[in-house]
A = this chain, B = another copy of it.
Amino acid sequence: MEIVGFCVFLQSQNKVYIKYNRIIVMAKELKDLTKRSENYSQWYNDLVVKADLAEQSPVRGCMVIKPYGYAIWEKMQRILDDMFKATGHVNAYFPLLIPKSYLSREAEHVEGFAKECAVVTHYRLKNAEDGSGVIVDPAAKLEEELIIRPTSETIIWSTYKNWINSYRDLPILCNQWANVMRWEMRTRLFLRTAEFLWQEGHTAHATREEAETEAQKMLHVYGDFAEKYMAVPVIKGVKSANERFAGALDTYTIEGLMQDGKALQCGTSHFLGQNFAKAFNVQFVDKNNKLDYVWATSWGVSTRLMGALIMTHSDDNGLVLPPHLAPIQVVIVPIYKNDEQLKQIDAKVEGIVAKLRELGISVKYDNADNKRPGFKFADYELKGVPVRLVMGGRDLENNTMEIMRRDTLEKETRTCEGIEEYVKNLLEDIQNNIYQKALNYRNAHIYKVDTYDEFKEQIEKGGFILAHWDGTPETEDRIKEETKATIRCLPFEADEESLTPGVDMVTGKPSARRVLFARAY
């Protein structure tokens, strides 16, 4: 083989350049994110890509989740899975493909999903006779088309039919971790993608009450997860009829508020009544020997949570990750003049790394010599590592380290004595601080509004708006059309004034209570 060219890589400040045939071009800008104040949407996209979380794939609307992004998702999965198991749920796996006729059994359900279905029609490729390549074999057409699951109620309830005869078979408390596909036309990394990863719980119960309790219980599990692990404060509530899951009698939701004043639905839980049991004829004999249809719930969170996590905490320097979900909680960077000094720092740091690990802290010691400290600092800031420790020559002499916390960028120098416990406490402090900061922001951006003019004015500025609504889908539709705002939920928790009847801000008709509006992702 003959070499036909080569290039070299050069680094200066935070940029890497490629030199190829004497031409120098920039290969990678390591930081310099778009600022949030300039273009929030661009800032988000930049950040997702530059922090190595995800990228667009060659398949329209489908993303590649890169190792660093996937490591965060894995932590979320592990914690959620433990929470599901602690509440009595087990995992199972149901088919990816759903016969078209199954999807159609529940009328509202198919109405809700028909427009975004990826359809499998053939099961074989073959070589084109004209030698032009591989084509779909027309002889291998399926008798009935199969849909890539947009959600699995139909395939699961067709299965539950065989599992349920008597009340003794109930409840069934299954969860599935899976990929699903909804053919979205306008996609954004993590927030709205054609394929996404999620978990979907599907439970079957003997009574209406038990199913309703389950749906609410799982919403609270989601709320706890969002607040305790993601440090994302959420408002829990019930959706209006317009915003319900297709086929549900009630949809419960947790709603977060992003830094641009838009709401993000973080997770939903559905009380499905007997709709799917009726669609698939799933009956059971109850304790009194009476035959009845089974009661159902379903509930899910997805890789969309990554979007909520990123947008709630991050800043113009990059990601800010809550310590409970950060793949690397602590990074240690040495600054050294020569190999001898590095050896001394290595020896010193080794013990600290070991003690940090003993405390259950995930730590990375980055003494690679192919990148300069400044580059490393910028990169770990971009990646949201909660705590950075630095040891230089002076530190070595003084038995100290410089500690920087990512959330406030504050630095201090401390003795190495007991630094491990200090870092452990600092991580908890950061977790609490970013939650409190997000909570303060959220609470400062909830507005009570009584006229439609005020509403229109406020909605342009962003935030949650508590306003009166007459309870009709027509008024809701009108508000959405005119202001792009939707009812996020009827919050479970509300002050007395919000629960006092009033009049609809648009129609002047009676309103039972204030409901929560916002523009949303």
Contacts and interface: CB of A to CB of B under 8 A. Distances in A.
B110 A146 contact: no
Contact of A136 (B94, B119, B127): B119
A173 B94 CA distance: 29
A62 to B, nearest CB: 4
Interface string A78-107: 000000000000111111111111111000
A484 interface: no
Contact of A179 (B65, B96, B102, B126): B96
A312 B418 CA distance: 53
A101 B128 CA distance: 13
A207 to B, nearest CB: 15
Nearest to A100: B134
A510 B183 CA distance: 59
A155 interface: yes
- Most chain B CB atoms below 10 A, which of A104, A119, A179: A119
**Shortest 3 CB-CB distances between A and B: which pairs?**
A62-B95, A67-B90, A114-B125
A4 B292 CA distance: 10
Given A195-B96, A291-B5, A123 B114 contact: no
Given A62-B97, A100-B134, 7 more contacts: A6-B290, A55-B162, A64-B159, A103-B134, A117-B124, A120-B121, A178-B179
A235 interface: no
Contacts of A197: 93
A475 to B, nearest CB: 28
B120 A114 contact: no
Contact of A59 (B59, B98, B125, B133): B98
Given A110-B134, A119-B136, A58 B102 contact: yes
Interface of A: 3-9, 18, 27, 55, 57-59, 62-67, 70-71, 73-74, 90-104, 110, 114-127, 133-134, 136, 145-148, 155, 158-159, 162, 165-166, 168, 174, 178-179, 181, 183, 195, 197, 285, 289-291, 370
B90 A118 contact: no
A241 B65 CA distance: 34
15 contacts: A6-B285, A7-B285, A57-B155, A58-B155, A59-B98, A65-B92, A67-B92, A71-B90, A96-B181, A115-B124, A118-B146, A120-B121, A124-B183, A125-B147, A136-B145
Nearest to A126: B114
B291 A99 contact: no
A280 B161 CA distance: 47
B123 A116 contact: yes
A5 to B, nearest CB: 6
B165 A18 contact: yes
A6 B285 CA distance: 7
A118 B97 contact: yes
A116 B122 CA distance: 10
B146 A291 contact: no
A169 to B, nearest CB: 10
B289 A95 contact: no
A146 B62 CA distance: 12
Contact of A94 (B64, B117, B178): B64
A179 B96 CA distance: 8
A27 B165 contact: yes
A199 B216 CA distance: 35
Contacts of A73: 93
Nearest to A66: B92
A117 B110 contact: no
Contact of A123 (B5, B6, B58, B117): B117
Contacts of A165: 9, 18, 27
Contacts of A66: 92
Contacts of A91: 67, 70-71, 74
Contacts of A134: 100, 103-104, 110, 114
B136 A125 contact: no
Contacts of A114: 124-127, 134
A93 B196 CA distance: 10
Contact of A124 (B67, B116, B195): B116
A84 to B, nearest CB: 12
Nearest to A54: B93
A59 B146 contact: yes
A454 B104 CA distance: 59
Given A59-B98, A110-B134, A136-B145, A93 B118 contact: no
A9 B285 CA distance: 10
Nearest to A102: B58
B119 A92 contact: no
